[in-house]
Amino acid sequence: MSTELFLQIEAKKAVEKLYGVIPDDSQIQIQKTRKEFEGDYTLVAFPLLKVSKKNPEVTSNEIGQFLIENNKLIAKYNVIKGFLNLSLTNEYWANVLNNIASSTEFGYKLASSASRSVMVEFSSPNTNKPLHLGHIRNNLLGFSISRILEKNGNNVKRVNLVNDRGIHICKSMIAWQKFGNEETPASSGKKGDHLVGDYYVCFDKEFKAQVEQLKSSGQTEDEAKANAPLMLEAQEMLRKWEAKDPEVYGLWEKMNGWVYEGFAKTYSALGISFDKTYYESQTYLLGKAIVQEGLKKGVFTHRADGSVWVDLTADGLDEKLLIRSDGTSVYITQDIGTATQRFDEHHLDEHIYVVGNEQEYHFKVLKLILSKLGYKWSEHLFHLSYGMVELPEGKMKSREGTVVDADDLVGEMVSTAHEMSKELGKLDGLSGAEVASICNTVGLGALKYFILKVDPKKNMTFNPRESIDFNGNTGPFIQYTHARIRSVLRKALEMGLDASKSVSSQSITVLKEIELIKLISEFPAVVEQAGKELSPSLIANYAYDLTKEYNQFYHDHQILKEENADARTLRLIISKMVGDTIRRSMWLLGIDVPEKM
């Protein structure tokens, strides 16, 4: 039971006894006491004034007096206007610590067959380019959110929908056909996704040159873009692909195969995995079939050129193209198909799309179309819209080849972790294998934490060197503290000290011990809130606050050299619980913590 719930129950009892009324839960508001006031938790008296029919100060004093007279775990109180600040006894906090120490899954709820079924779709890369920094934020958010939801007691499926078809894929294929000279990943020494990405950039350069040439002959920019030979060839290739032309299809399979091998290496380096991967090439026909059903129902309409549209203007949106005049489909068509497939296959309670905020309109349209088609589950689609990642020098552009490549960034982070760890002497005395493992753990931890500590809804600027600082709100600072705690516990074991005993109220000797127990006890509520808000940043910043508080405690108070045996045992148990809570928090973020550092 959380402290807030404990106090809410006791306050309800007090109100019923004092005023003869059982208050609603909404009237019993418990919050952490502000740091400038004495107390652990605060009861807000204002919602109870209608019940007490007295002013805030009198109501607070009457409830406070009743609580300390009737519950031995509440030590004292003070009243600041309409706020009743309550201090709990050392016995209460010792019991809290003992309960936490005896729990093997503290902070986590376990799923059962009756739990909600939630699908989290993330990554969703195009097979015309390698993963970049923006994809990293997507992958880290999706993976972390799936873990947070899982530890909130949901049955979670992590899925990836690969955008493996469409005009953008054909652009890379056309460029490779024209300019590739049969180049392969093996012949070039490049990862397959990088090689294909190079030809996507190549297409854009050649296309722009053709547009400029057509404009110089008198065409408008729109006319030039529509008539550029390279674009016309890409469009024809897409039509051939949908017609299953053997030559085009064979080239598509070959180049996509190169990309999948490259993606697999990047996912492995990031520690990302999926329960299932879907491919748009396997679902777009289902979407087209559903559109045909929508035509029969009168939900969609044909235009004179043969294209299919839906009119959403009465709902405050626009008209939306579903099938082009040449019969090829668009993104929304295949998303209609994949959504239907998911709910038919898995009977989901919720489907979460982790996609950047530039696609907010797209998902409004998708939900509305599915609703008009009669799918009641459309209300259980949720778009987790996250902000863009920029660099200090500005935005990235895939077509122009100015993105930060994911593989390069991971390599840079590991290299920087090695450089900074060596400068600070944190690698002294470690073997080569230990150094490599720690630098990989720290580099990736720095990258993941820096991205996940930011509210997903916000845009962010990523600064690699700032992210790897061993001081401040960073992954390495938290990882180093975990390693420090593990070192303390190893030394305690060597000294024959037991960190598994239960403790009593007499063991608590300083206020900082209570502050740490209080912070540890808040972990389950933070995990629950992070699940409700789909925000790993709540976990990240909680882990930082806990780490910062522990480091201050470590600096100010002896642990292994503490002469009072009971106090020493308490501090060892607190250290162990802080370390375990850091590890659990970081696991939810997809971050490893080292035993040594």
**CATH top-level class for 406-588?**
mainly alpha
Using CA atoms, how far apart are residues 386 and 216, in angstroms rounded to an integer? 41
Give residue-wise pLDDT tens across range 72-96: 999 999 999 889 999 999 999 999 9
Looking up tokens 């073997």, which residue turns up? Answer: 431
Contacts of residue 363, Cβ cutoff 8 Å, sequence gap at least 6: 353, 355, 381, 383, 385
Report angle CA 448, 449, 450 to the nearest 5 degrees. 95
pLDDT range class, residue 35, cuts 50, 70, 90: confident
Average per-residue pLDDT in the chain? 91
Its CATH architecture, for the domain 3-88, is 2-Layer Sandwich (3.30)
Q: What is the mean pLDDT of residues 252-280?
A: 95
Q: Judge whether 453 and 540 are in contact, CB under 8 Å.
A: yes
Residue 40 pLDDT exceeds 60? yes
Name the pTM for this structure.
0.89
Tell me what pLDDT residue 400 has.
45
pLDDT range class, residue 327, cuts 50, 70, 90: confident
Using CA atoms, how far apart are residues 259 and 126, in angstroms rounded to an integer? 9
Name the range with the highest mean pLDDT among 287-291, 344-348, 457-461, 535-539.
535-539
Tell me what pLDDT residue 2 has.
87
Q: What is the mean pLDDT of residues 192-207?
A: 95
Residue 463 pLDDT exceeds 90? no
pLDDT range class, residue 403, cuts 50, 70, 90: low
Do you know the residue count of the chain? 597
Using CA atoms, how far apart are residues 463 and 369, in angstroms rounded to an integer? 40
Q: What is the mean pLDDT of residues 183-204?
A: 95
- Phi (first) and psi of residue 378, to 5 degrees: -60, -30
Question: Domain spans of the chain?
Answer: 3-88, 406-588
Tell me what pLDDT residue 417 has.
84
Which of 377, 470, 478 is closest to 420 using CA atoms? Answer: 470
pLDDT range class, residue 401, cuts 50, 70, 90: very low
pLDDT range class, residue 393, cuts 50, 70, 90: low
* Tokens linked to 203: 């297409």
pLDDT: which is higher, 213 or 409: 213
Residue 399 pLDDT exceeds 60? no
Which of 44, 151, 26, 158 is closest to 526 using CA atoms? Answer: 151
Compute the Cα dihedral for 125, 398, 591, 449 and give only its sign: negative
Using CA atoms, how far apart are residues 129 and 357, in angstroms rounded to an integer? 21
Residue 396 pLDDT exceeds 60? no
Tell me what pLDDT residue 398 has.
43
Give residue-wise pLDDT tens across range 549-577: 999 999 999 999 988 999 999 999 999 99
